[in-house]
Structure 1
Amino acid sequence: MKKVPLLAWIVLAIIAGILIGSLTPGIISGLNEALGWSVPTDLIVQLFVSFSTIFSAVLSFAIPLIILGFIIPGIGSLAQGAGRLLGITVGLSYISSITAGFLALTTAYFLYPVLLKGQQLSSVANPEEALSAGYVKFELTPLMDVTAALVLAFIIGLGITTLKTKNMLHFFEDFQTIIEKLLSYVIIPLLPIHIVGIFANMTLAGEVATIISVFGKVFIMVLLLHWIMLIIQYTVAGSLTGRNPFKALKTMLPAYFTALGTQSSAATIPVTMGAVRKTSVSERIANFVVPLCATIHLSGSMITITSCSVAVVFMTSGHISFIELIPLVLLLAVMMVAAPGVPGGGVMAAIGLLQSMLGFDQSMVALMIALYMAQDSFGTATNVTGDATIAMIVDKISRRFKSSNNEQPTAELENQQHGSVQA
């Protein structure tokens, strides 16, 4: 039996939340009148909101663990055996990712005041006044705050690179596996129920029309930005390598559509490698760059997360300084490295930054997740399609190294394809 994609569950959860928030109060009110009951009209909504309260507390507790579990082995493994080609690949991937982030940030900053004008969600901006609180109060204090977890992850990750043994790296790789299972078997499966609670609550507060309108506008804008970014990437790569950018982009279309269906960079790697080789990239470079970039080159996800997070800010507070968002883009590109290899893993890894830097609460986080998941497969498709441009440039540089210094990349570099892979 085929597994239902997470995106389908998210869509169903949004619809269910809207229906529950709009219909159940009237139904319960009618039953009260007909049967003489005195049941609160928002009983069903409150039950889902109570679950969301507990889920949000558990998620907040898990965020620092997610940061430690994925950033530490990500930094530690990428730095081992670092040579020129590895360094160049990582550098190009980071530049491409932050370029995508700033493209999305600039577009959103100038277009959202027009596109989202008059569509502020008062229920999220002032939750204490408009949203129901649920029947339970549940607090779970995280072991450390997000900033502390991020700093600690960098200290340990960089420290691991100086060690001669791999014991610490293996420990955190095992810890990463534990966190992946927490995400795969607990947090991600329960996300739809959490979404139901949040959307039912906001619908009860009369915000459903605004939510649907904003979702449609942001969705279209993000898709356009994905393709604009791909054109930029292939134009730059084509000019640097002397290859036809549009012919190369056409060659990568099978990988793009495969990623749309699988919603996973990992599952698309064989198709991506085959397509990259057809762009005249050597097999040796394709085998090295494609699996590595599936982990660290996330231009599509950067566009999606940046666009969606700024949209949520405009929906709630209405405005934010462009300067305040620059550090967010720079850190997001780092946070995405070795993010959990499950659908929605990118946004889960980014939640900590959104909470600490933009002040996202549980309602804003739920909106962010719903917006992101609606476009996750398109972001993944952009990620894998853009990987070919990195491979084309690295292949060109490798040929120059070989011709000038007769230098061959080390076998260790070529085996850097065994890390965790971004979905």
Structure 2
Amino acid sequence: MLFSPLLRWLQRTSLVAQIMIGLVAGVALAVLLPSATPSVAFLGNLFIAALKAIAPVLVFVLVMAAISNHRPGETTHMRPVLMLYAVGTLAAATVGVTASMLFPSTLVLQTQAQGTTPPGAVSEVLLNVVQSITANPVKSLLEANYIGILAWAIALGIALRHASDGTRTALQDGAQAVTQVIQWVIRCAPLGIMGLVAATFAEAGTQALWGYARLLTVLLGCMLFVALVVNPLIVFLVLRRNPYPLVFTCLRESGVTAFFTRSSAANIPINLALCKRLNLNEETYSIAIPLGATINMAGAAITISVLSLAAAHTLGVHVDMPTALLLCVVASVCACGASGVAGGSLLLIPLACSLFGIGNDVAMQVVGVGFIIGVLQDSTETALNSSTDVLFTATACLAKEQS
């Protein structure tokens, strides 16, 4: 009986509002009761561990079930969705390069990133992608290799299209069960975020961020510009109507939760539920949303571009226009392979730096800087990536309805 008012309040209050309350509570704990933060931080560690555990299974089951239940002849509108993903990522990389050249940042290269092995050439990145695709499916699930997970899910989904109705129904039931489990985990987000924020502020405060304020401003400014200007422009060109109601809905319902969970894969149920509320084509969004969580990486393209050019500016390397354009393409392609890996976009910075002749030792110091500012950089990057998944999926579906 004592918990009844609390349960009713939880049911009435939106998850976003609860997350904001958890954020404020975490800051307050760190400031007022710093000695209590280790206990509270445990909640944050549990929350992140649960997300990491369930997210690979979620992508695998959802994609496999969606493809296996697709009926021949049914329209999915996947081609325009993929086109929007590609255009959006390339546009984001272009914004990152342009902003970096207009507002160059200088880094203090003192930190080292330990235990990381970056790719050394574009061919190596492509080889890693191929190896990821053909990796053992069980190993892919254990190591959160989302490229491999996606490849096996698509292959099995296509094969299971010829299975019995009972088998396909069981797969759909399994997908719904896994979705329900991750929704339970996400309902714990306010407590988890309270622990994460409390631990972050207690250990480092804001001192670690002030030293890189200019770099953070360029990074976050680019992501906001893409979210509020570039993406709406793309949507307007496709739909020929005011894009901002849809843009703000996606940012509010998808971007906010992704900002705090810092996982596009874990945010898939939120995006699927939003697509359902928007009355989109289920045959389209059931495939496009899990796929977008793996390959639609506008935020990663910005991170790779901005940090690479910051390294070039710090070392006095002149970047001409052809090289800048090449960087846009490289950042866009590499961003697709950065998903599902902690600091994945950061580990591709040495590859982009190699375009300017910057050595691996210096480039890895830039990766270290990226990890320092990752609290805000990674959260904002994920929010942009995840909200754009829904935005472009909705745009493709609505464009088909208008035609």
Q: TM-score, normalised by structure 1?
A: 0.55
Q: Deviations over 1:10-56 (max 9, x none)?
A: 444444444544x34xx7xxxxxxxxxxxxxx533323333333433
Equivalent residue for 2:165? 166
Where does residue 72 of structure 1 map in the other structure? 64
Match of 2:155 in 1: 155
- Measure, in 2, the Cα distance between the counterparts of 1:154 and 1:377: 21
1:115-134 C-alpha deviation (Å, 9 max, x unpaired): 6835789899679xxxxxxx
Task: Determine the structure 1 residue equivalent to 2:87.
Answer: 99
Match for 1:81: what amino acid? P
The answer to whether the 8 Å contact 1:76/1:169 transfers is: yes
C-alpha distance in 2, partners of 1:123/1:9?
Answer: 36
Letter in 2 for 1:224: F
- Structure 1 residue 112: deviation in Å? 4.8
Match 1:62 to one of 54, 76, 80 = 54
Matches within 5 A, 1:179-190: 179-190=178-189
How far apart in 1 are the matches of 2:144 and 2:59? 8
Amino acid at match of 2:399: I
- Which residue number in structure 2 is paired with residue 371 of structure 1? 380
| Offset of residue 183 of structure 1 | 1.8
Check if 1:81 corresponds to 2:63: no
Q: Give the structure 2 partner of residue 283 of structure 1.
A: none
- In 2, the alpha carbon distance for the partners of 1:8 and 1:115 equals 35
Residues 138-191 of structure 1: CA distance to partner in whole angstroms, max 9, x if unpaired? xxx996222243343233122223x14233432332222222222211245234
Q: Secondary structure at 1:117's aligned position in 2?
A: coil
- 381-390 vs 223-232, which deviates more? 381-390
Aligned to 2:230: 228
Q: Deviations over 1:338-377 (max 9, x none)?
A: xxxxxxxxxxxx5x24566756999988656642576689
- Residues 127-146 of structure 1: pairs in structure 2 closer than 5 A: 144-146=142-144
Q: What percent identity do the matched residue pairs reach? A: 12
- Aligned position for 1:416: none
Q: SS at the partner of 1:249?
A: coil
Which protein has the larger Cα radius of gyration, Structure 1 or Structure 2?
A: 1
Aligned CA distance change for structure 1 residues 175 and 300 (closer, same or farther; 3 Å): closer
Letter of the aligned partner of 2:54 in structure 1? A
Structure 2 residues without counterparts, runs of 5 or longer: 1-8, 116-138, 255-269, 313-326, 348-366
**SS of residue paired to 2:241:** helix
- For 1:117, which of 86, 97, 105 is the aligned residue? 105
1:221 and 1:160 map into 2 onto residues whose CA distance is: 42
Aligned residue for 1:206?
207
Q: 1:233·1:389 contact (CA, 8 Å) conserved in 2?
A: no
Structure 2 residue aligned with 1:196 = 197
After superposition, the Cα gap between the structure-2 partners of 1:186 and 1:257, relative to the gap in structure 1 and judged at 3 Å, is closer
Q: State the one-letter code of the partner of 1:150.
A: L
* Secondary structure of 2:72's aligned partner: coil
Give me the whole-angstrom Cα distance separating, in 2, the residues matched to 1:272 and 1:54: 32
Q: Is the 8 A contact 1:109 1:322 kept in 2?
A: yes
Change (3 A) 1:53 1:265: closer
8 Å CA contact retained: 1:66, 1:179: yes
Deviation at 1:209, TM superposition (A): 3.8
Given that 1:160 and 1:169 are in contact with CA atoms closer than 8 Å, whether structure 2 keeps it comes out as: yes
The offset of 1:65, in angstroms, is 1.1
Q: Aligned-pair RMSD on alpha carbons?
A: 5.0
**Cα distance in 2, alignment partners of residues 178 and 121 from structure 1:** 47
The answer to whether the Cα contact below 8 Å between 1:218 and 1:311 also exists between their aligned partners in 2 is: yes
Amino acid at match of 1:152: W
Q: Check 1:110–1:166 CA distance in 2 against 1; reply closer, same or farther (3 A cut).
A: farther
Q: Could you tell me which residue of structure 1 aligns to residue 45 of structure 2?
A: 53
SS at match of 2:105: coil
Report the alpha carbon displacement of residue 200 of structure 1 after superposing the two structures with TM. 2.3
- 8 Å CA contact retained: 1:17, 1:196: yes
Aligned residues of 1:69 and 1:175 also touching (Cα < 8 A): yes
Contact 2:63 2:153 in 1 (8 A): yes
1:8 is displaced (CA, Å) by 3.9
CA–CA separation in structure 2 for the residues paired with 1:17 and 1:381: 29
Measured at CA, do residues 194 and 178 of structure 1 come closer, stay the same or move farther in structure 2, by a change above 3 Å? farther
The alpha-carbon deviation at position 322 of structure 1 amounts to 6.2
CA change 1:234–1:54 in 2 (3 A) is closer
Counterparts of 2:41 and 2:305, CA distance in 1: 22
Shift of 1:81: 1.4
Contact 1:98 1:302 in 2 (8 A): no
d(CA) in 2 for partners of 1:322, 1:219: 18
Instruction: Give 3-state SS (helix, strand or coil) of 2:69's partner.
Output: helix
User: Does the 8 A contact of 2:56 with 2:144 survive in 1?
Assistant: yes
Contact 2:235 2:395 in 1 (8 A): yes
Q: Tell me how far apart the structure 2 counterparts of residues 300 and 72 of structure 1 sit (CA, whole Å).
A: 15
User: Residue type of the partner of 1:144?
Assistant: L
The one-letter code sitting in structure 1 at the alignment partner of 2:231 is M
8 Å contact kept, 2:222–2:302? no
Aligned to 1:391: 400
Give the AA of the match of 2:165.
Answer: K
CA distance in 1, matches of 2:374, 2:67: 26
Amino acid at match of 1:207: A
